Amino acid sequence: MRLVEWEVANVVAVAGIVIGNTMSAATLTGRNFERSTVARRGEIEAWLSLGATSQVAHQSVAQESMKESLIPNIDQTRATGLVTLPGAFVGALLGGASPTEAAMLQLVVLVGILLTQSICSSVVIRVLSGSPVVPQEVRTS
């Protein structure tokens, strides 16, 4: 038995939810990385001056940024069903699915979101940490 049948309506619904949430993770990862890089500029420059690669110099910033970007979705997943009823679950129920089918659809959505956000954050971090340029804090007067 499959959790969700491979029908166009199911694939479009799940893909739309997963892609939308993954875009948010990419934004959060990039912003967290930039903020942490600016804040820890001296540390990163020290690593680079000692001959470290960009990935090594940015490693601790990258790990911190990725953790921070995934926290909102982990918190949301933890509260699902206890505090909130997620949109996919309610939508499936309103569409005529049984509570069991709706719960299976929601499970697929939650796991898919966590998986794709983790992969997306890893890719964003990999790309951003490859640059030897360390941004400066922009001061506005």
- Tens of pLDDT along 15-67? 888 898 899 999 999 999 999 999 999 999 999 999 999 999 999 999 999 99
Determine the Cα–Cα distance for residues 52 and 127; give it in Å rounded to an integer. 17
Number of C-beta neighbours around residue 98 at 10 A:
10
Residue 12 binned pLDDT confidence (cut-offs 50, 70, 90): confident
The predicted structure's pLDDT at residue 123: 95
The predicted structure's pLDDT at residue 3: 63
Which is more confident, 109 or 36? 36
Highest mean pLDDT among 94-98, 99-103, 121-125: 121-125
Q: What Å distances lie between residue 34 and 31, 95, 138, CA to CA?
A: 5, 42, 12
Determine the Cα–Cα distance for residues 133 and 78; give it in Å rounded to an integer. 38
Domains of the chain: which residue ranges?
8-128
Give the pLDDT mean for 104-110: 81
Q: What Å distances lie between residue 127 and 41, 75, 121, CA to CA?
A: 18, 26, 10
Number of C-beta neighbours around residue 63 at 10 A:
12
Which is more confident, 1 or 105? 105
The type of residue at 41 is: R
What pTM did the predictor assign?
0.78
The predicted structure's pLDDT at residue 16: 86
80 forms beta bridges with: 84
